[in-house]
Amino acid sequence: MRETTGRNVLWVVVWVGLSLALGVWVLVTEGTSAAAEYYAAYVLEKSLSVDNIFVFVIIFSELHIPREYQRRVLRFGIAGALVFRALLIGAGIALIERFGWVTYPFAVLILFAAWRMLFGAERERQVVEAACDVCETWIARVVRVTPVLTSRDFWRREAGRLVATPLFVALVVIETTDIVFALDSVPAVLAVTRNPFIVYSSNVMAMLGLRSLYFVLADALHRMRYLRPGLALVLVFTGTKMLASDWVHISAGASVLVIGIVLLTTIAASALLGNRVAQHTEI
């Protein structure tokens, strides 16, 4: 177990290192402003991707997916998410370039996402749990589903018929919930930059390390009691920045600084104050 955790931490370090190196390449080829935009977009996407991990934990718990099978589900889930996000980013940039007023609905969408992150956690949990009811979910109305998990396959033959396994249900739920997350995070990163390469590359680099980050953080998320409020504050800042973009210009460098301070503060508060609250509750 310790060896596996060490390997996951190593992969997180590798992906973060590659992401930072890509920023250096952007700096050399595109200049300081583009590099600042890339780092701001990457930090924003990486921080928001942590919210995906909360949902992954619920999905795997409700479907009783063993840890050794979770990696395969996440591999396919993240690959599908990258394809969908490419389409969504292209559509978002095209809409903004053609209809400038679209930035305002996008900003409202970001602020709504912040509200949902603060006050909709329980509702989100209920929706995900309902989606994970293998025999009752909408997936079972489309394809035949078996509640029995015997291997790492998404499909298997049962009485001569091809049926979907709980792994396939987990994959579909992950893909559909990521669509909801993308509707929040893509407009948020478009508040930082409209450069298609920077927008998509920051999404790709944030998502590629998500699988290893999940295995590192999954067991510690319950102790990060102030993380989601911190992420909500990041979204409020981003949405407000988009709404006020015609009157107030906030540079990408300033955005990196604000997002970094908020995240470090919430992580430190979770580590210090969260542990004290837990100890007091136990007493």
DSSP codes, 127-175: HHHHHT-TTTSHHHHHS-B-S---SS-SEEEETTEEEE-HHHHHHHHHH
Average confidence score pLDDT of the chain: 81
Return phi, psi of residue 158, to 5°: -135, 115
Q: Is the pLDDT of residue 9 over 50?
A: yes
Q: Residue 163 in contact with residue 145, Cβ under 8 Å?
A: yes
User: How many other β-carbons are positioned within 10 Å of the β-carbon of residue 276?
Assistant: 9
Token output for 43? 């930090």
- Average pLDDT in the 188-217 region? 86
**Rounded CA separation 283/276 (Å):** 11
Token output for 222? 């319950």
Q: pLDDT value at position 281?
A: 43
pTM, entire model: 0.81
**Rounded CA separation 71/66 (Å):** 10
**Cα separation values, 212 from 77, 187, 207, Å:** 13, 25, 10
Q: pLDDT category, 255, cuts 50, 70, 90?
A: confident
* Of residues 180, 189, 200, 228, the one with CA closest to residue 82: 200
> Over pLDDT 70: what percentage of the chain?
87
**Rounded CA separation 153/209 (Å):** 23
Q: Residue 50 in contact with residue 226, Cβ under 8 Å?
A: no
Q: Is the pLDDT of residue 7 over 50?
A: yes
Strand partners, 205: none
Token output for 10? 């190593």
Tens-place pLDDT, residues 21-54? 999 999 999 999 899 999 999 988 888 887 788 8
